[in-house]
Amino acid sequence: MSLLQVKDLAIHFGGVKAVDGVSFAVEPGEVFAIIGPNGAGKSTIFNLISRIYEPTRGTIHFDGKDITGLKAHDIARLGIARTFQNIELFDHSTVLANLLMGRHTHSTTNFVQNMLFMPKVRQAERAHRKRVEEVIAFLELEAYRKKMIAGLPYGVRKVVEIGRALAIGPKLILLDEPASGLSVEESQDVAFWIEDMRRDMGLTVLMVEHDMSLVTQVSDRVLAVANGRPLAMGTAHEVQADPQVQAAYLGTPGEEAA
Amino acid sequence: MRVVFKKSYDPDIDLHEHGWSRGKIVVLLGIMILLPFFVGEYYLAEAANTLIWALAGMGLMIAVGHTGQVSLGHAAFLAIGAYTDAALMNVGMPFWVALPAAGIVAGVFGAVIAIPAVRMSGIYLAIATLAVFVIVEELVILLEPITGGVGGIMAPTITFFGISFDRYGELENFYWLTLGIVALVTWGYANLMRSPTGRSFLAVRDSEVSARALGINVTRTKSLAFGLSSGVTGLAGALMGHYIGFFNYELFSIFISINLLLVVTIGGLGFIQGAFLGAILITGMPQVIAILRDNLNASTGIDIGSIPGLDTMLFSVILILFIIFEPTGLYGRWLKIRTWFEIFPLARRDMFRRQKSYLKTERMK
Ligand SMILES: Nc1ncnc2c1ncn2[C@@H]1O[C@H](COP(=O)(O)OP(=O)(O)OP(=O)(O)O)[C@@H](O)[C@H]1O
Ligand SMILES: [Mg+2]
């Protein structure tokens, strides 16, 4: 059974058909990439899956469950984590605090117990910290643990955002352009991490990425979209060779007008 | 710079990472406890007043500083706290029942009105809280049998086990009681901020969309924060009622709301310490102005005593200066001074520039 199944998904903003009839299924343990020119609707697909946007039509199933009617804050608990294209970290907190915020769905104490900081709160904090330290070690963030996000370089912030998503302990991680704005070396790190996430953590990865070398390197299957509609699906090479995809990227007049 | 070598996660979970800062709090608390033996009645009363303002400031800090919800109506929660406490004590309830009740009534009221209000942000929320303030003010006048209406109400003397905590008769006792309550709330507040609840507050403040993606229910979190904020302010209101002794609705004017906002912004948004620094400034200012006024009058014969609202005007000017030059408030300034000393002589001129320009652009949004 597919882990994530999207059927005939569509959202229209006024006259703009940002996503218009997209269907795909992501299998457990797969790295699935969505590519497409700017404004194709890739991030919007992510926002629909994370329930930030209400679809005009279509359904989303995760783990066999229909999640189309859920609230945005119910998604993480099911095991779906995400990053944002324009980094959405908690800027006035430290890296450590940001990662700990990723543990929110695992906290079991209520605010009164927290206010009194009862022993079970401390125990839970230790457990959260242990889990977060694993993420820190995995992403090599040790040097930044106590640093404020606001002062960190762009590349580090991108990694922290991946870390915060991992701290949730998800089954599926959505990465929106994880390598954009990164140097070649940093992109290479991201590629290795994605492979490790799949292999060592048993994660399923759904990512949006413009960097075709990264896509080719890590993804099992690729979906190309343009103007909110699916163009082609297959391996990275197959999709890149597709004449419709090439036309969309080159922006042939016929495609643009649509 | 102090380097702490850690063998477990506990120092990071503890309230204080190292014994030094824990020691400082102990010393400070010790001085505060011994204060009645060093200062006279006038200054002890001022100290109690400052503590009450710090308590109210902590209340507002939860909303404004830690979850980013601006409220212009917090005087309403002071009023609810003061009236609940006084009314319950007037029908014979002991203080240890009336005070928590005052906090709970103000807190529940705050949490309930927050549910529709938290969907708003920025100026809309500020206006909504202002409306709440006006409604509460009207209610106080209408509910005359309980509140004494325009005439006012008396906050009875607090007694425990036959010991009086009267604000005039036994000022030391009243001061210690206030100090104890403030210390307890500060401890609870600091605990909250190192727990998942506090982290969810900060998450909602800094990015609602990611907070949601992490499974945080933004509406519930904001309403909890607003409820706690109102509750703590309600406790301060109850104490303020006892401090004043006899009061009517005029005690809780819109200027009180504004002054409270000044306490948290000048003190340092997002720092518990900021509420204390702000409270010291706001309660100390009238004294400083009075001294200046007398000197000015004596030396030049100009009398500025007749200008109404001079205090608030001066606070406002100070606030504007802070927003322009030190958006992180007094506490932020202190952190910079401390860092400068800690790494002396390595400080660079533009060391804090990045942070500052960052805050500036955000303010323009
Ligand atoms: N909230 C919104 N309101 C109106 N239009 C929107 C909204 N969100 C997205 N759009 C529109 O939907 C289209 C797709 O946007 P989206 O951000 O999904 O593109 P993308 O494929 O992620 O592009 P990029 O590669 O630049 O990130 C764009 O035309 C965009 O303007
Ligand atoms: Mg995008």
Q: Whose CA is nearest to atom 16 of ligand 1?
A: A41
Same domain, B174 and B152: yes
> Measured between alpha carbons, how far is residue B167 from residues A150, A231, B57, B77, B256 in Å?
46, 78, 21, 22, 21
Inter-chain CB pairs, A–B, below 8 Å:
124
- Three-state DSSP class for residue A230: strand
Same domain, B19 and B118: no
Q: Whose CA is nearest to atom 11 of ligand 1?
A: A18
* Model pLDDT, residue B125: 79
Q: Whose CA is nearest to atom 9 of ligand 1?
A: A44
Which tokens go with B262? Answer: 């000044």
Tell me what the mean pLDDT of segment B46-60 comes to: 96
User: Do the Cβ atoms of A3 and A17 come closer than 8 Å?
Assistant: no
For residue range A59-75, list pLDDT tens digits in order: 999 999 999 999 999 99
Degrees (nearest 5) of the Cα angle A230, A236, A237?
115
User: Among A44, A45, A53, which residue has the most ligand 1 atoms within 8 Å of its CB, making it the best to mutate?
Assistant: A44
Tell me what the mean pLDDT of segment A68-91 comes to: 95
Secondary structure element (H or E) that encloses residue B123, with its range: helix B122-142
Same domain, B183 and B132: yes
* Model pLDDT, residue A54: 94
* Model pLDDT, residue B79: 95
Same domain, B16 and B51: no
Residues in A closer than 8 angstroms to B200, CB to CB, are 101, 104
* Model pLDDT, residue B2: 59
The mean predicted confidence, pLDDT, of chain B is 84
For residue range B2-30, list pLDDT tens digits in order: 566 677 888 888 887 777 778 888 999 99
Please report whether residue B275 resides in a domain.
Answer: yes
What amino acid is encoded at B309 in this protein? Answer: G
B317 pLDDT higher than 90: no
> Measured between alpha carbons, how far is residue B242 from residues A219, B146, B191, B250 in Å?
69, 17, 28, 15
Confidence class of residue B306 from pLDDT cuts 50, 70 and 90?
Answer: low
* Model pLDDT, residue A254: 47
Which of A90-94, A97-101, B292-296 reaches the highest mean pLDDT? A97-101
* Model pLDDT, residue B348: 55
Sign (positive or negative) of CA dihedral A133, A218, A191, A60: negative
Please report whether residue B3 resides in a domain.
Answer: no
> Who wins on pLDDT, A4 or B147?
A4
Which of A207-221, B141-155, B333-347 reaches the highest mean pLDDT? A207-221
User: Do the Cβ atoms of A225 and A24 come closer than 8 Å?
Assistant: no
For residue range A174-190, list pLDDT tens digits in order: 999 999 999 999 999 99
* Model pLDDT, residue B347: 58
Same domain, B25 and B45: no
User: Do the Cβ atoms of A81 and A172 come closer than 8 Å?
Assistant: yes
pTM: 0.89
Domains within chain A, CATH numbers bracketed: 1-79+170-258 (3.40.50.300), 91-167 (no CATH)
Same domain, B23 and B151: no
A256 pLDDT higher than 60: no
The mean predicted confidence, pLDDT, of chain A is 93
* Model pLDDT, residue A82: 97
For residue range B196-253, list pLDDT tens digits in order: 999 999 999 999 999 999 999 999 999 999 999 999 999 999 999 999 999 988 889 8
* Model pLDDT, residue B296: 77
Separation CA A156–CA A149 (nearest Å): 9
CB contact under 8 A, B192 and A115: yes
- Spatial neighbors of A73 by CB under 8 A, at least 6 apart, are B211, B212, B215, B216, B217, B218
Same domain, B117 and B20: no
- Three-state DSSP class for residue A147: coil
> Running DSSP on this structure, what letter comes out for residue A74?
G
Separation CA A196–CA A203 (nearest Å): 9
B69 pLDDT higher than 80: yes
Confidence class of residue B123 from pLDDT cuts 50, 70 and 90?
Answer: confident
In chain B, the number of structural domains is 2
Q: A85 alpha carbon to ligand 2 midpoint, in Å?
A: 6
Separation CA A159–CA B361 (nearest Å): 24
Site residues for ligand 1, CB cut-off 6 Å: A 13, 16, 18, 36, 38-44, 85
Same domain, B94 and B181: yes
Please report whether residue B320 resides in a domain.
Answer: yes
Provide the angle, in degrees to the nearest 10, between the axes of the packed helices B41-67 and B254-267: 80
Residues 329-348 of B with CB under 8 A from A: none
Tell me what the mean pLDDT of segment A16-29 comes to: 95
Same domain, B25 and B162: no
Using a 10 angstrom Cβ sphere, with 0-12 exposed, 13-18 middle and 19 or more buried, the burial of residue B219 is middle
Tell me what the mean pLDDT of segment B60-68 comes to: 92
* Model pLDDT, residue B363: 36
Residues in B closer than 8 angstroms to A124, CB to CB, are 196
Please report whether residue B361 resides in a domain.
Answer: no
- Percent with pLDDT over 90 in chain A: 90
A230 pLDDT higher than 50: yes
- Spatial neighbors of A79 by CB under 8 A, at least 6 apart, are A62, A63, A168, A169, A170, A171, A172
User: Do the Cβ atoms of A35 and A210 come closer than 8 Å?
Assistant: yes
Which tokens go with A110? Answer: 């209520």
> Who wins on pLDDT, B121 or A13?
A13
The CATH number of whichever domain residue B66 belongs to comes to 1.10.3470
Domain encompassing residue B110: 39-349
Please report whether residue B365 resides in a domain.
Answer: no
Separation CA A126–CA B9 (nearest Å): 6
Sign (positive or negative) of CA dihedral B72, B74, B77, B81: negative
* Model pLDDT, residue B1: 52
Q: In what order do the strands lie in the sheet with A172-176?
A: A80-82, A172-176, A204-208, A31-35, A221-226, A229-234
B341 pLDDT higher than 70: no
What amino acid is encoded at B197 in this protein? Answer: T
For residue range A94-124, list pLDDT tens digits in order: 999 999 999 999 999 999 999 999 999 999 9
- Percent with pLDDT over 90 in chain B: 45
Residues 159-188 of B with CB under 8 A from A: 188
For residue range B90-115, list pLDDT tens digits in order: 999 999 999 999 999 999 999 998 88
CB contact under 8 A, B196 and A114: yes
B343 pLDDT higher than 70: no
Please report whether residue B2 resides in a domain.
Answer: no
Which tokens go with B59? Answer: 């209340």
CB contact under 8 A, A125 and B216: no
Same domain, B258 and B305: yes
Confidence class of residue B167 from pLDDT cuts 50, 70 and 90?
Answer: confident
Please report whether residue B225 resides in a domain.
Answer: yes
* Model pLDDT, residue B362: 38
Shortest Cα distance, chain B CAs vs residue A246, angstroms:
34
Secondary structure element (H or E) that encloses residue B89, with its range: helix B74-90
* Model pLDDT, residue A257: 40
B188 to chain A: closest CA residue: A115
- Three-state DSSP class for residue B46: helix
Q: B271 alpha carbon to ligand 2 midpoint, in Å?
A: 36
Separation CA A44–CA A50 (nearest Å): 10
Shortest Cα distance, chain A CAs vs residue B279, angstroms:
23
In this prediction, does ipTM exceed 0.90?
A: yes
Same domain, B17 and B71: no
* Model pLDDT, residue A208: 96
Residues in A closer than 8 angstroms to B202, CB to CB, are 90, 92-93, 97, 101
* Model pLDDT, residue B359: 36
Please report whether residue B278 resides in a domain.
Answer: yes
Same domain, B13 and B136: no
